Amino acid sequence: MTQRRVAVTGGGVVSPLGQSLEDFHRSLIAARSGVRPLPAEVAQGSGVQVGALVDWDAAAHFKDSEAANLDRVAQFALVAAGQAVSAAGLAVDDPTRVGVYWGTGLGGSHTLEASYRQIYGKGEWRTRPLTVVMAMSNAAGAAVALRHGLRGPFANFATACSSSAMALGEAARLIASGRADAMVAGGSEALLTPATLLAWQSLRTLAPADPADASASSKPFDKRRAGLVLGEGAAAFVLEDEARARARGARIHALLTGYGNTCDAAHMSRPDRDGQVRAMREALREARLEPQAIGYINAHGTATAVGDVVEAEAINVAFGGAAKEIPVSSTKSMHGHLLGGAGALEFAAALLALEQGILPPTAFLEQPDPACALRHVALRAERVAPPRAVMSNSFAFGGSNVVLIAERAG
Amino acid sequence: MDTLARIKQLAAKEFSLEPEKLDPKAPLDTLGIDSLSFIEFMFKIEEEFGVAVSDEDLKGIKTLGDLERRVAASLAAAGKT
């Protein structure tokens, strides 16, 4: 069977680094960090000091009556997806041939937490009737489908930190196989709520505030790294059958040609090199690319002690000798870890390298850890000849590994 | 403010509608209020007026006028009027 190729024809972003794809890219180029001290009303008693919040004004996007019935995670999704659909100029002639694949780790945390606060906190055994449909993990993607009338395939992927990368990869396969002509795919997360922050804090995996500069608290691959910084936001893309996109004269940002998906089945939270290597190799194999064709890797790079080392080793194993030459960065140094939204947002970061030849950096990487032997893009963005292809890694609790490869449309 | 005026004001806010367009005799669906939205609205009505409307009584509410009568009856029963 001849597989169709999958074009990326539009993108949208709601992030701690700006609320459009263009603003997000500008922040990455400037190596600006969106990490900051968490306001007291967000952190409360959790002990979490820093996070990467979206500077969100729901009233700018929704009527009060709409916003009240949409969890923050769905609001982010609707705005990012709306930008992507509009940027792509997506025309839906047959809505049954266009669907939504979304990714979110937790779903409507704000809604759930408000409900529990009322029940357990205040001892009032009452909760909003919309609690179920606002908190369910498929609510954000369903809101996108509803808004745009997309009646084709739908799924919500909840594989923690690989959720939205998986949504993109699976959506691409759906189009390649002919089951859909276009898909809105991406993910969102909004779980910076006191109780969820406390749960993360209890894992002892979050970075404290950098005493000199709170915005520099996320330091992937650096000897001084102290853990991850949680973020929130959304990123969405319109993926489309390449022939269809060309026929309608759409601007093609990239082709999504490689998708690797593996499970470690080794440990619930500790990453496994072999699982990551297999995912990178699978993506390369699907894209029919030699390792040298990859001109930039957006690493998962969460800035945990173990995770960064395992990923660096995995890249070296998967790419062999070519690894020395391939620029790598973790943009989580600037936008924090969007968890379920991370894969899609970082795919957006990788597209900056692919389309413009601007490699976003690992900000604050002043003292690279020798155990993370990579060709780092450190501190500042680098300008290169636009590479043929780029890779984005997303590795998750539960052992899920997802790798995406985008190629220039050429 | 009387009970109907308060209900209209809350409904206008909840559903982004003009209060004067809320005909108390109009079936709720013709006002663009579906059953899920109405259940959510009832939750707020109960909070606002400090009443509880049973599932059985809820079934009889087809218009904002019905709602007013139900709330008024509950308030009267509770000696709140």
B43:A128 CB<8 A: yes
Taking only residues 129 to 158 of chain A, the set having a beta carbon closer than 8 angstroms to any beta carbon of chain B reads 129-130, 133
CATH code where residue A382 lies: 3.40.47.10
A91-117: average pLDDT: 96
Count Cβ–Cβ pairs < 8 Å, chain A vs chain B: 22
On whether both A59 and A176 belong to a single domain, the answer is: yes
Closest Cβ–Cβ partner in A64, A66, A129 for B43: A129
The verdict on pTM exceeding 0.90 is yes
pLDDT for res A2: 62
On whether both A38 and A94 belong to a single domain, the answer is: yes
Dihedral angle, C-alpha A308, A163, A293, A88, nearest 10 °: -140
On whether both A136 and A264 belong to a single domain, the answer is: no
Residue indicated by tokens 């904002």 = B64
pLDDT band at residue B79 using 50, 70 and 90 as cut-offs: confident
On whether both A61 and A210 belong to a single domain, the answer is: yes
On whether both A283 and A308 belong to a single domain, the answer is: yes
Given A184, A218, A247, which residue is the final one in a domain? A247
A213 touching B, CB under 8 A? no
pLDDT for res A225: 97
pLDDT over 70 at A395, yes or no: yes
On whether both A227 and A148 belong to a single domain, the answer is: yes
Given A223, A247, A271, which residue is the final one in a domain? A247
Which of A25, A148, A161, A376 is flagged as catalytic?
A: A161
Longest dimension (CA), chain B: 34
A205-233: average pLDDT: 98
User: What is the tens place of the pLDDT at every residue in A228-266?
Assistant: 999 999 999 999 999 999 999 999 999 999 999 999 999
On whether both A43 and A155 belong to a single domain, the answer is: yes
Domain-embedded: residue A68: yes
Domain-embedded: residue A254: no
pLDDT band at residue B78 using 50, 70 and 90 as cut-offs: confident
What pairs with residue A36 in β-bridges?
A51
B14:A65 CB<8 A: yes
pLDDT for res A261: 98
On whether both A276 and A239 belong to a single domain, the answer is: no
Q: Which two tokens stand for residue B76?
A: 């009267």
- Rounded Cα–Cα distance for residues B15 and B35 (Å): 13
The amino acid at A18: G
Q: Which domain holds residue A150?
A: 6-247
CA distance A115 to chain B (A): 13
B16:A65 CB<8 A: yes
On whether both A118 and A196 belong to a single domain, the answer is: yes
B43:A126 CB<8 A: yes
pLDDT over 60 at A112, yes or no: yes
pLDDT over 50 at A78, yes or no: yes
Pick among A115, A125, A130, A132 to test the B interface (most B CBs inside 10 A): A130
Which chain B residue is nearest to residue A62, measuring alpha carbons? B16
Strands (E), A116-180: 154-157
Strand, helix or coil at A19?
coil
pLDDT over 50 at A63, yes or no: yes
Q: Are A193 and A186 in contact (CB under 8 A)?
A: no
Domain-embedded: residue A379: yes
On whether both A214 and A303 belong to a single domain, the answer is: no
A375-389: average pLDDT: 97
- What residues have CB less than 8 Å from B43, skipping those under 6 apart? A126, A128, A129
B59-81: average pLDDT: 90
pLDDT over 60 at A1, yes or no: no
On whether both A279 and A307 belong to a single domain, the answer is: yes
More confident: A102 or B18: A102
Domain-embedded: residue A1: no
CA distance A147 to chain B (A): 17
Domain-embedded: residue A392: yes
More confident: B79 or A20: A20
Q: How many domains does chain A have?
A: 2
Fold classified for B3-77: 1.10.1200
